[in-house]
Structure 1
Amino acid sequence: MSTSDPVIHYNLARFEISAARLDQCPSDTGAEVAFAGRSNAGKSSAINALTQQKSLARTSKTPGRTQLINFFSLNIEGLKIVDLPGYGYAKVPIAMKQHWQRHLDAYLQHRESLQGVVLVMDIRHPMKEFDEMMVHWCESTGVPLHVLLTKEDKLKRGPAKNTLLQLKKALKERLGDKVSVQTFSALKSTGVDQLRQRLNSWLLPDAETAEEADA
């Protein structure tokens, strides 16, 4: 990577806007990566670990509180991280889940600046209904997918590795080179560099992937 290449400093990410519908989203220009996941999978904690900010993405003791599409601007103009609504939690009313699903689908189907999806799964409970829906969407559209198996610290090393290998094999058969899988722990900040490198490859495809300068 030459000194003239742009570098994303994820710790400089700033909240930009929340949108309840596609027509409320920022202009569809530049490049963005969307984070998706069931509402108790640790998505907000993963975004906070990525950006080294404790409360950039709101975490709640009541899963399902994130009802909007939240946009965060990065230090390079036009680049964004997007926090998509999580759902699938039993206490969230069905009508609300259906509302989220309609707007989530509209975003995924029509957002041209979307470069890839980070799908956050609890490593102890992978491939639930929401996860399968997201994998199927990426399978049908060809949008690259990166699976983040969170809460790695909750499992011993052997079971965590087995889950990683089994899921990687299953998803490679469906998505080929359009999918990647890693383990992650927001609590211990493990896997953060690997996640940054994947995002760099999507957001800065013309620059060589390098170690994140502010890691």
Structure 2
Amino acid sequence: MKVNIAEFIISAVGPDQYPDDALPEVALAGRSNVGKSSLINRMINRKNLARTSSTPGKTQHMNYYRINEDSMYFVDFPGYGYAKVSKTQRATWGKMVEKYLSERDTLKLVLLIVDLRHPPTSNDKMMFDWLKHYDLPMCVVATKADKIPKTRWQKHIKIMKQELGVLSGDNFIPFSSEIGLGKEELWGLIDGYVLSSENETPDTEDAEIDANESQQVGPTEA
């Protein structure tokens, strides 16, 4: 998808604040500080539309970003698993996210964002299992690949897949917001879901890129 316009629309706290224009939505779920905002900025070629923060747990709402006015939305979920957020607040976020995932008709794809440098957390595994159980369209996006030497990418990918339970037909894309690794592959996957009609099923062939292939290096983001 060629991104001409990208804009922040709303920080929503419930269904009454979600956009009602019926545009397709791609949701991003992941633990706090895993790089969801940086991923959005890389995907839309902007440095700071989605605000990044060194303080985990800052995103407390469903942040909607509209792409190309009439194409789609990225929906950034509150980060999960941050201990300094109160149990009551985490429970509130959890209910909001679960309600959205189970009831939102315009949801086309969930990107489960994980950190490729480390094995998945218990919350990562729980989210993966939940999405699988409810048969929601999903892609695991393993960020921060640039923080690992290329020679170790395949080892980390293997560990991530094994511990999450990723199967050969599941979508899995290594990604780096810093160097642009995985950007084109991820847009290709998103396009398949967003552009497909309601009665069509997009190709779910494993979207993993070959970590040994050379990648075009883009500018470093803030």
Question: What is the TM-score normalised by the length of structure 1?
Answer: 0.84
Question: Structure 2: how far apart are the matches of 1:28 and 1:104?
Answer: 20
Partner of 1:164: 157
Partner of 1:5: none
Q: How does 1:1-215 map to 2 (within 5 A)?
A: 8-27=1-20, 29-75=22-68, 77=70, 79-168=72-161, 171-173=165-167, 177=169, 179-205=170-196
Identity of aligned residues (%): 37
Question: Structure 2: how far apart are the matches of 1:78 and 1:144?
Answer: 19
Aligned residues: 200
Question: Structure 1: how far apart are the matches of 2:52 and 2:165?
Answer: 29
Question: What is the TM-score normalised by the length of structure 2?
Answer: 0.81
Q: What's the C-alpha RMSD, in Å, of the aligned pairs?
A: 2.4
Secondary structure at the residue paired with 1:46? helix
Counterpart amino acid of 1:115?
Answer: K
Which stretch shows the higher mean deviation, 22-31 or 133-142? 22-31
Partner of 1:3: none
Structure with more of its chain in helix, by fraction:
1
Secondary structure at the residue paired with 1:138? helix
Counterpart amino acid of 2:68?
Answer: N
Question: Structure 1: how far apart are the matches of 2:4 and 2:29?
Answer: 20
8 Å CA contact 2:140, 2:172 repeated in 1: yes
Question: Structure 2: how far apart are the matches of 1:20 and 1:33?
Answer: 17
Secondary structure at the residue paired with 2:41? helix
**Unaligned stretches of 5+ residues in structure 1:** 1-7, 210-214
Question: Structure 2: how far apart are the matches of 1:141 and 1:181?
Answer: 18
Question: Structure 1: how far apart are the matches of 2:157 and 2:118?
Answer: 12
Secondary structure at the residue paired with 2:88? helix
Question: Structure 1: how far apart are the matches of 2:126 and 2:193?
Answer: 22
8 Å CA contact 1:11, 1:52 repeated in 2: no
Question: Structure 1: how far apart are the matches of 2:15 and 2:124?
Answer: 22
Which stretch shows the higher mean deviation, 150-159 or 192-201? 150-159
Give, in angstroms, the shift of residue 99 of structure 1.
Answer: 1.3
Secondary structure at the residue paired with 1:198? helix
Give, in angstroms, the shift of residue 45 of structure 1.
Answer: 0.5
Question: Structure 2: how far apart are the matches of 1:93 and 1:133?
Answer: 19
Which of 1 and 2 has higher RCO (CA within 8 Å, sep 6+)? Answer: 1
8 Å CA contact 1:9, 1:74 repeated in 2: no
Question: Residues 126 and 26 from structure 1, CA distance in 2 versus in 1: closer, same or farther, beyond 3 angstroms?
Answer: farther
Residue by residue, what CA displacement relative to the aligned partner does 1:105-142 show, whole Å, maximum 9, x if unpaired?
A: 11111111111101111112242122122212221121
Question: Structure 2: how far apart are the matches of 1:18 and 1:11?
Answer: 22
